């Protein structure tokens, strides 16, 4: 009993979720930096 | 001269410390995950009953452990915020919630995909699965409650209270397989030892460390963003932003 599609589904969704979170949190930090920069042109 | 660690309880000193730690924990997470996945797929043997599908264990169990651990840590920082009235404690609790929710979702998703071929069903309303689902709702509730309250300090207190009340769910999740007749198997990893095959156990523990390092890296990055957002008017924030 191998069921590789279940294994791929588990690992695939996990990887996608982790990558999305990592990218989102970096983007949030960069946005916060940009908002706080006194030299930022509006 | 003795160093007081309490100086890092100020957002302005915590911010650079967190920045220095993020890269290290991120690299550690990647390396540990590579080792753990190699152990899980190349070294650990097939299971005599489940074949290859048991290998979902190498993300399911670490994610489940992290979901419970992150909730407890979030509740701890909430208690610190309530008791000591420190802004940074509340910011840490705020930073942990989304990652805790993600770990809980991963535990539920991988559990469902493991359950279908082994138990014949994606889901059952047994004690462990239901209490883990409640944990996900608790994380969502903490996130939603913060969004619903405009005043940041009131939001901190409300979220801290909700986190502490919901903390009773964590021992329920853990002991559910002992207290009730559940579909979910009992604990195979205990403080007194494990009934798992050594390579399987090692792979699972290495992946747990990988998830832990990842959670720390992501939580610290989110905490840095939250510190900048909430301390926007401070001179040190403008200086840090200008230097970045």
Q: What is the pLDDT of residues B62-97, one digit of tens each?
A: 999 999 999 999 999 999 999 999 999 999 999 999
C-alpha to C-alpha distances, B217 to B19, B21, B168, nearest whole angstrom: 9, 7, 27
- pLDDT bracket for residue B57 (50, 70, 90): very high
Measured between beta carbons, which residues in chain B are less than 8 angstroms from residue A37? 238, 241-242, 244
Q: What share of residues in chain A are helix, strand, coil (percent, to 5)?
A: 80, 0, 20
In this complex, the residue of B56, B63, B241 whose CB is nearest that of residue A33 is B241
Q: Do A37 and B244 lie within an 8 Å CB cutoff?
A: yes
pLDDT tens digit string along B149-201? 999 999 999 999 999 999 999 999 989 888 887 778 766 666 666 677 888 99
- Percentage of residues in chain B with pLDDT exceeding 90? 76
**Interatomic CA distance for residues B132 and B122, integer angstroms:** 14
**Which candidate, B132, B162, B66, B10, places its Cα nearest to that of A21?**
B66
Q: What pLDDT shows up at residue A42? A: 47
Give the residue on A whose Cα is nearest the Cα of B216: A22
Q: How far is Cα B76 from Cα B70, in angstroms, rounded to an integer?
A: 10
CB-CB neighbors (< 8 A) of A31 in chain B = 225
Pairing of strands B193-194, B189-190: antiparallel
If you average pLDDT over every residue of chain B, what do you get?
Answer: 92
* A41 close to B (CB below 8 A): no
pLDDT value of residue B3: 64
Give pLDDT tens digits for B24-41. Answer: 999 999 999 999 999 999
Instruction: Provide the pLDDT confidence category of residue B2 given band limits of 50, 70 and 90.
Output: low
Task: Please tell me the predicted confidence (pLDDT) of residue A3.
Answer: 84
- Counting one residue from chain A and one from chain B, the pairs whose CB atoms sit within 8 A come to 92
Mean pLDDT score, B209-225 = 98
Residue ranges of chain A with pLDDT lower than 50? 42
């Amino acid at each position: 009993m191998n069921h590789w599609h279940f294994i791929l589904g588990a690992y695939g969704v996990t990887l996608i979720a982790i990558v999305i979170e990592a990218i989102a949190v970096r983007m949030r930090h960069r946005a916060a930096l940009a908002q706080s920069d006194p030299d930022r042109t509006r | 001269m003795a160093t007081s660690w309490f100086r890092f309880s100020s957002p302005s000193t915590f911010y650079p410390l967190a920045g220095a730690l993020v890269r290290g924990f991120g690299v550690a997470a990647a390396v540990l995950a590579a080792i753990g996945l190699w152990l899980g797929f190349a070294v650990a043997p097939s299971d005599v009953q489940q074949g290859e599908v048991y290998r979902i264990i190498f993300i399911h169990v670490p994610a489940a452990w992290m979901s419970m651990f992150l909730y407890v840590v979030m509740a701890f920082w909430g208690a610190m915020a309530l008791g000591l009235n420190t802004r940074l404690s509340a910011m840490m609790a705020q930073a942990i919630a989304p990652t805790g929710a993600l770990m809980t979702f991963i535990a539920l998703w991988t559990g469902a995909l493991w359950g279908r071929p082994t138990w014949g069903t994606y889901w059952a309303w047994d004690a462990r699965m239901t209490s883990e689902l409640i944990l996900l709702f608790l994380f969502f509730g903490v996130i939603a409650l913060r969004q619903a309250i405009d005043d940041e300090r009131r939001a901190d207190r409300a979220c801290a209270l909700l986190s502490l009340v919901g903390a009773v769910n964590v021992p329920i999740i853990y002991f559910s397989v002992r207290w009730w007749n559940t579909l979910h198997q009992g604990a195979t990893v205990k403080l007194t030892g494990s009934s798992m095959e050594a390579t399987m156990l090692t792979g699972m523990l290495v992946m747990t460390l990988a998830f832990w390092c990842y959670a720390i890296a992501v939580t610290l990055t989110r905490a840095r963003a939250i510190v900048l957002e909430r301390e926007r008017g401070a001179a040190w924030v403008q200086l840090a932003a200008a230097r970045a």
